[in-house]
Amino acid sequence: MAFIEVIGGRHLQGEIPIQGSKNAVLPILAASILHNGITRIKNCPKIIDVYHMIKLLESIGCIVTWEQDGLTIDATEMNYSSVDKKYVSSMRSSIILLGALLGRNKNVTISYPGGCAIGARPIDLHLKAIKEMNVQVIHSEDIIFCSTSHLTGAKISLASPSVGATENVILAAVKADGITIIDNAAMEPEITELCLFLVKMGARISGAGSKTIMIEGVKEFRDVEYTLVSDRIVMGTYLAAVAGAGGSVTLRGNCCKENETVINTLRTMGCRIGVGRDYVNICSSQQPRAVPLIETETYPGFPTDMQSQIMSVLTIASGTSLIVENIFESRYKTVKELAKMGADIYVSGKAAQVNGVAALTGCDVRAYDLRGGAGLVIAGLIANGTSRISGIEYIERGYEDISKDLANLGADIRKVESSL
């Protein structure tokens, strides 16, 4: 069983690049099957979720190869509409193949997806929206079967701005007859990135990044090469690491604007941050200040994917902070692990009161989800002594090599392969 070992107390210094975006690449990989040809994605992150998606694509007939600077998907001979349950159950994002397979083959059989245990994340919105596009949906406890004689454009009003539902409707609508309008669409940067990719491939989409997206269906797409945007959550994680451990670091990536709410929160905590077009510099030389209130929201609000990392930093802040988690009901699984390290956190429903302590103490802790695991790594950087974080298979779902990145900034951290 592998774990990450961290010896805390070192300030972080230096400069590193930020990997390609996990949350953008997965729907783009799904979108590649809409085209009966070749897609090349540069700056593709080598993370577990991408490897899972590759297995999914290969299982339905795609040829996928890694090249020096990215990934090539050949969907010319793709001819399957049924997705193997063993691949779907390992990753929540596999559900975005629903819209893409409907666009390509007009039918799909897929099981309910798996992934991190951070909340129920029901897919009712996906299915309700797809039904409005002339799709028959039959689902049992385990399997979803969708079919259509032809996809039809529709006006779809989402009950909530679900990222996954927005992506699935877009992926189906680009091959539908007529025009589809999505009201109350998700505005996350990853939605914009998917639309930019599809437009480059030949789709007709307007309004990406707003609450109303319009898609005019087309019949054919073309081969495309696309360079992926940097991962805003990875950048935010490393910014939080510097805020907690102290130091001065420059992060290179083109997702700075998309991190505005995180950067503003870190400034409130006392960090000095400079932002350029393709870099962020952060300096932290004092104990973090408490933040009166942080509420997670859909974009452009504070991202739920950064809540755990910021909580770890606030455990040593001067004063009391309040976090309200409005997106996922099980985001606080990391709290009991932080408590083992000496954190003083009280959870009541959606709210977590974080009372800053003088110091954390290193110990053995376990990750239960992707971002919570990253938060525990940050806690290890902050703590006195040695921490060992197990459950790193969650962390590797979204970070190419968090240990290597932080070690390159001067952290005393390493991944340990254990036979125990």
Could you say which DSSP state residue 418 is in?
-
Sorted by sequence, the CB contacts under 8 Å of residue 176 that are 6+ apart come out as 103, 133, 150, 151, 152, 153, 215, 217
Q: Where are the alpha helices (DSSP H) in 73-229?
A: 85-88, 97-105, 124-131, 163-173, 189-201
Three-state DSSP class for residue 118: coil
Could you say which DSSP state residue 287 is in?
P
**Catalytic: which of 62, 116, 195, 256?**
116
Strand partners, 225: 40
Q: Residues 405, 14: contact at Cβ < 8 Å? A: no
Buried b (16+ CB within 10 A) or exposed e, 345-370: beeeeeebebebeeebebbebbbbbb
The Cα 371–Cα 292 span in angstroms is 22
Residue 255 is a catalytic residue: no
C-alpha torsion sign, points 36, 40, 191, 55: positive
Q: For strand 247-252 and strand 279-284, is the pairing parallel, antiparallel, or unpaired?
A: antiparallel
Which residue numbers are catalytic?
Answer: 116
